[in-house]
Amino acid sequence: MELQQAEKKLKENGFLDVSVSDKIDYAAEIKKLKKEKNAIILAHYYQEPAIQDIADFVGDSLQLSYKAAEADADLIVFAGVHFMAETAKILNPDKKVVLPDLNAGCSLSEACEAKDLQAFKDKHPDHIVVTYVNTSADVKAISDICCTSSNAKKIIDSVPLDQPIIFAPDKNLGAYINKVTGRNMLLWEGACIVHEAFSIDKLLHTHQAHPNAKIIAHPESEAHILKTAAYIGSTSGLINYAKTDPAKEFIVATEAGILHEMQKEVPNKTLYPAPAHEDNTCACSECPYMKMNNMKKLFLCMKYELPEIHVSEAIQKKALIPIQRMLDISSQ
Ligand code: 13P
Ligand code: SF4
């Protein structure tokens, strides 16, 4: 009875506040549904450990885009945030794409609306627009090229030096790319709340306590955090560095979900999450959007194939152009 009521509620309110019996073995049910529905689960490194463990593929945003583009499953289940699932739909529009929680957004995507970007473009008609993939389909549809943190330098280096660029929406990634490429791109005022939460004082304190640990950081972090880092890279770049660098201890300045996969890759090394300004339960920085997904919602989303991601054909066609350009340049 409770289950039936929950299902009704679930359908009515788009999966908010569902209370399905906790006696369900979600992992077992999800595995069954994967087979029954010929589904593929793609998960980002920031997802909770149980979701990463049950996914068919775990990766950074670029790797997930490639996987989504080539997926031949009937159902693509995106365990990540909205812009990632939307990118999967744009790349593979004939597939059904579902996201466990439709409210799983992103502070970067929210900071850049298409109408505002269009107004900015109109003020700078000689500039091309490079957008980070952390944007809506509408924003991608008015962009020239997309990038992720793992290919941003390569994408910008592919643009002729005399071509002025608007870079949106991450001012921190943009400033870092300006620094490493010697460009002077116009930067949008957006930021990732998770990477802006790191405290430089607490980070230096952690480093003092573990002087042999190397600080490694995601480029969405602020410049004063990046200055302290021995290595700066995307989530997959950070995991790879921890694997290949001889150091035995690392302080990791990105969303704490990455530690699950990183620790699996380096079982004999010690990892410390970089501390955030606010004292919170994990003493680290977690993405509230990524953490909206959980096993229960993943199960429900596969069972009902809801909430589904929809992108109009007109926007899909336009948004595909900058994403495809990115994938082509990236694979060269
Ligand atoms: P990457 O996985 O591309 O490093 O991106 C990190 C991120 O913040 C995704 O939202
Ligand atoms: Fe957006 Fe930051 Fe969360 Fe990634 S970690 S989804 S960039 S808010």
Q: What is the pLDDT of residues 182-236, one digit of tens each?
A: 999 999 999 999 999 999 999 999 999 999 999 999 999 999 999 999 999 999 9
- For residue 107, the ligand 2 atom closest to its alpha carbon is 8
- The mean per-residue pLDDT over the stretch 42-62 comes to 98
pLDDT value at position 20?
A: 57
Distances (CA, A) of 89 to 98, 136, 149, 312: 9, 12, 21, 10
The CATH code of domain 200-273 reads 3.40.50.10800
Does the domain made of 108-192+316-330 have the CATH classification 1.10.579.10?
no
Q: Is the pTM of this model over 0.75?
A: yes
Pocket residues: Cβ below 6 A from ligand 2:
46, 81, 106-108, 134, 192-194, 220, 255, 287, 289-290
CA of 3 from ligand 2 middle (Å) equals 33
Alpha helices in 230-293 (DSSP H): 235-244, 258-265
pLDDT value at position 3?
A: 52
Structure tokens at 120: 């900015």
Say yes or no to pLDDT of 77 above 80.
Answer: yes
Q: Are 43 and 57 in contact (CB under 8 A)?
A: yes
- The mean per-residue pLDDT over the stretch 245-251 comes to 98
What is the average pLDDT value for the chain, to the nearest integer?
Answer: 94
CA of 12 from ligand 2 middle (Å) equals 28
Say yes or no to pLDDT of 24 above 80.
Answer: yes
- For residue 148, the ligand 1 atom closest to its alpha carbon is 3
**Tell me, which fold does domain 2-104+290-310 have in CATH?**
Rossmann fold (3.40.50)
pLDDT value at position 114?
A: 98
- The mean per-residue pLDDT over the stretch 320-330 comes to 97
Give ranges for CATH 3.40.50.10800 in the chain.
Answer: 2-104+290-310, 108-192+316-330, 200-273
CA of 190 from ligand 1 middle (Å) equals 15
Ligand 1 near 60 CB (within 6 A): yes
44 Cβ contact partners less than 8 Å away, ≥ 6 residues apart: 58, 59, 60, 61, 64, 79, 80, 81, 84, 235, 257, 290
Segment 259-313, tens digit of pLDDT? 999 999 999 999 999 999 987 677 899 999 999 999 999 999 999 999 999 999 9
How far from chain centre, in Å, is Cα 318? 22
pLDDT value at position 283?
A: 81
pLDDT value at position 6?
A: 53
Q: How confident is the model at residue 1 (pLDDT cuts 50, 70, 90)?
A: very low
pLDDT value at position 267?
A: 98
pLDDT value at position 10?
A: 60
pLDDT value at position 187?
A: 98
Q: Give CA angle at 163 (158, 169), nearest 5°.
A: 75
pLDDT value at position 278?
A: 80
Q: How confident is the model at residue 21 (pLDDT cuts 50, 70, 90)?
A: low
Q: How confident is the model at residue 23 (pLDDT cuts 50, 70, 90)?
A: confident
pLDDT value at position 134?
A: 98
Say yes or no to pLDDT of 5 above 80.
Answer: no
pLDDT value at position 282?
A: 79
Mutation test of ligand 2: which of 61, 87, 134 has the most ligand atoms closer than 8 Å to its C-beta? 134
Reduced to 3 states (helix: H, G, I; strand: E, B; else coil), residue 19 is coil
DSSP state of 158: T
Alpha carbons 309 and 307: distance in angstroms, whole number:
7
Say yes or no to pLDDT of 317 above 70.
Answer: yes
